[in-house]
Amino acid sequence: MVANSPSNNPPRPYSAAHFALELDQRKGNIGFFQSIEGGGVTAEVMSTQFGDNYDIWRQLGKPKYEDFKIKTGMSMSFEYYAWISDFFKGVPHRKSGAILACDFHWKERARREFTDAIITELAFPKLEGNDKGAAYMVCTIAPEKMEFKKGSGETLKSNENLRNQQLWTASNFDFTIDGFDPQLVDVTKVDGFSIKTKPIEYHYGESRHPWKIPGRIEWPNINFYVPEVHAGPLIDDYMKQAAKGEPLSPGRGALLTVKDNSQCELFNVKMVGCRIKSVQPDASNSTSEEIKLVKFEMAVEAMEFHWLTEPE
């Protein structure tokens, strides 16, 4: 019967279970991510009243494309991490691509194609020695234009170079500071931190879509924790420079290295011009059974991101 033919049946609702990212319209996706937030389109309504007419005319103004945030582990390929590395260097590489939404059977059901996008923020999770949960980065991307399109219905294939999303756990990391023996200064926890840049919109001519130009990168302070019995060298160095008024030494270097479950290095974040700005011991409590830690807050002049797996 014609009424029951597949061409007359509307698409069935689906539960989006898998998400993938395409960049620069290359064949195939460059990786699957955990979740996505944002990426909508809004437009202000402009109202006009003519003379003594009580009627008000309304029309839409220029569209505004929201930033979108993708939450990723170690399942992305080299192109994605190279883009992040350029963001740390202040190189505004613009990427065009698509966000793919797939159902449980990995079939592409919807896509959002974006144009000339730049990274505006990268948030690292908290890392802690006794936390065995999966860790994820959150990358904020600002597109200049976004289009909603129907999915192709094809079954997505994983890139052979993609890593397993669960390989990165919050406990697999090393944090070292130049001039201090890592065996003596044992960092047990690093708070989450974000690297940001505020995009500047440039409106030109009659275009409805402004250019987005990245501003200056804002480097965060880094909070890390060391057991009190191992914190002596760091406290002594801080007191010499801050409390006793001795001449300031050049900023030190620091290195945050992230590893997978087999202890192979995944990536590192190199920090330069580091200076400890505050020291805060844990509160003392006679009933507590937790190891007493000292919190250090460190100012950083610049950072570099290095993904330690080269493309095949």
Q: State pLDDT tens for residues 47-60.
A: 888 877 788 888 88
% helix / strand / coil in the chain, to the nearest 5? Answer: 10, 50, 40
pLDDT digits (tens, 9 = 90+) for 99-131: 888 887 778 888 899 999 999 999 999 999 888
Name the 3-class secondary structure at 210: coil
CA atoms within 13 A on the CB side of 172: 21
pLDDT digits (tens, 9 = 90+) for 266-279: 899 999 999 888 99
Q: What is the mean pLDDT of the chain?
A: 83
Cα–Cα nearest to 19, from 65, 75, 66, 67: 75
- The mean-pLDDT minimum among 27-41, 205-219, 235-249, 284-298 falls in 235-249
Confidence of residue 196 (pLDDT cuts 50, 70, 90): very high
In this predicted structure, the answer to whether residue 10 has a pLDDT above a threshold of 80 is no
CA distances to 287, 293, 297, 298 from 227, in Å = 18, 4, 15, 16
CB atoms within 10 A of CB 117: 23
Cα–Cα nearest to 99, from 90, 109, 111: 111
* CA triple 20-63-207, angle to 5 deg: 105
The beta strand positions in 66-107, using DSSP E, are 68-72, 95-102
Quote the CA–CA distance of 42 and 46 in Å, as a whole number. 13
Q: Chain centroid to CA 223: how far?
A: 18
Do residues 180 and 233 touch, judged by C-beta distance below 8 A?
yes
Please give the average per-residue pLDDT across 8-18, as a whole number. Answer: 68
- pTM flag (> 0.75): yes
CA distances to 37, 74, 111, 113 from 99, in Å = 11, 18, 5, 6
Do residues 191 and 157 touch, judged by C-beta distance below 8 A?
no
Cα–Cα nearest to 183, from 192, 173, 174: 174
Name the 3-class secondary structure at 230: helix
H/E run at residue 283 = none
pLDDT digits (tens, 9 = 90+) for 240-253: 777 666 555 677 89
Do residues 27 and 13 touch, judged by C-beta distance below 8 A?
no
DSSP β-bridge partners for residue 227:
293
